[in-house]
Amino acid sequence: MDEHERAAFLGPAANVVLFALGGTIALVGVGLSLSRHRQELEAAERDRQRLIDDRAREQARREEAETQRRIDTERALRERFVTTVKLLSDPAPVNRQAALFALGALADDWDAFGRPDEVQVCIEVLTGYLRAPRTEDMLVPLTQEQLDGPSPSERNGAQRTTAQEVSVKQAGYTVIRNHLAHGAAPHWHDRLLNLSNTHIDFNIDLTGATISGDGTVNLAGATVSLDGSVDLTSATITEHGTVNLTSAIITEHGSVELTAATISLDGSLDLMAATITDDGTVDLTAATITDDGTVDLTAATITDGGSVDLTRAMIAGGGTVDLTRATIAEHGTVDLTAATITDGGTVDLTRATITEHGTVNLTSAVITVHGTVNLTSAVITVHGTVDLATAAIWAHGSVDLERASIGHHGTVNLTSAIITEPGTVNLREAMVSGHGAVDFTGAMISGHGAVNLDGAAIREGGLLGFEIP
């Protein structure tokens, strides 16, 4: 085979060999590449796992440190609590004052620590101090006249709190006010503040307080006297919040101030069975009682110059002033002058007794849009007065005196009242006797306004006056 033929024969074979060799080299390259990639992946996985492990160890370390920090913080907070509580029994007033401020700060720190239960413990200790009976060293010594008083309890009631102790207690109430303020953070709006049976003969400033979300300022059984005051001016009592003064005694120029307060959304001011006497005052001037808010004076006694002042109040949207079975006597007064009772608002005096110059004053009141003054079965006697002079009763507003008893110079005064469109005065089955009087002199009854006298009885010197222009 010559050289030319050998080249022709070997050329294709060489190509096959070269292709085979190239494929082998390629396969080896791919294998090596895959091996390298697998190694890289394994290395990356080892690195990732190592990072995860490092992070887990770091997280565990952090959690351990946080656990220890919380243990240390809780221990410190409890140590502060013990120290603070000890200070409350310190004989120096300034130390007791500092302790009350410290309790407020401690409560805030417990709140930041996420322990609302411990916040309440701080509140209980603070309020416990404020409501504790006064000891002898907290009282101004009695005069000889006071020492001759009829009973130890009355002598104690006549003693004023010393100026030093007043400054201590006011520190505690300042802490409370700051936590009840609108926008306070952290706040005590929804907390129970138990101040029951407290003796108050100084000013407590709780102006602008917000009590809401089932929060309660509990002053049940408190005595507010000797010019003492609980000042809740412009307070907001709402969403089932309560100021509880059940069975409280407000006397000797003591006062509960709620001027311009708002009581709404099932909020309540509870004065059930309270005694307001000897120029004591509950002042609700220009208050708004609405959306099922309640001022509850059920079975309260308002006497001897005591007064509940609702002048210019707005009672609306199902709001209620409840004086059911109340006794208003001996120049005691419930003053609703120029009040507006509307949109289902109610002043309820069912079975109330208004006697011995006691007065319910509704002069110039506006009773409208299903607003009601309810005097069903009330007793108005011995110069007791319900004064509705110049009142406007219209648009389904009503004054209900059904089965009321008006006698012995008791008076319902409707002189110059306006009863119209279709307002109603209901005297159904009322009894007017013994120089009792219902006086409509100068009243304007028009436009479907009505006076219901069905079954009313006028006897034994009773007077029903209708000198209508």
Task: Tell me, yes or no, whether 267 lies in a domain.
Answer: yes
pLDDT at residue 220 is higher than 80: yes
pLDDT at 61: 82
pLDDT at 68: 86
Nearest-angstrom CA–CA distance, 427 and 454: 7
User: Which of 68, 83, 102 represents a domain boundary (last residue)?
Assistant: 68
For residue 123, give every residue at least 6 positions away whose Cβ sits within 8 Å of its Cβ, in sequence order, or none.
107, 188, 191, 192, 193
d(C-alpha 413, C-alpha 359), whole Å: 11
Range of the domain at 29: 1-68
Q: Domain for residue 38, yes or no?
A: yes
Give a yes or no: residue 194 inside a domain: yes
- Measured CA to CA, the distance from residue 296 to residue 284 in angstroms comes to 13
* pLDDT score, position 435: 92
Does residue 179 lie in a domain region?
no
Say how far apart CA 289 and CA 299 lie, in whole Å: 20
Point out the least confidently predicted range of 133-137, 226-230, 371-375: 133-137
Residue 84 domain flag: no
pLDDT confidence of 63, banded at 50, 70, 90?
A: confident
pLDDT at 469 over 60: no
> What pLDDT score does 350 carry?
98
Backbone CA torsion sign across 186, 189, 194, 200 = positive
Are residues 57 and 192 located together in one domain of the fold? no
Please report whether residue 109 resides in a domain.
no
Give residue 313's pLDDT. Answer: 98
**300 and 430 inside one domain:** yes
Q: What is the mean pLDDT of the chain?
A: 91
Given 24, 41, 68, the domain boundary residue is 68
Same domain, 205 and 351: yes
Q: How many domains does the chain have?
A: 2
3-state secondary structure of 18: helix
Q: What is the pLDDT of residues 233-263, one digit of tens each?
A: 999 999 999 999 999 999 999 999 999 999 9
In this prediction, residue 41 carries a pLDDT of: 78
Give a yes or no: residue 202 inside a domain: yes
User: Angle at the Cα of 429 (from 424 to 430), degrees rounded to 5?
Assistant: 80
22 lies in a domain?
Answer: yes
Q: Are residues 252 and 395 in the same domain?
A: yes
Boundary residue ending a domain (48, 68, 88):
68
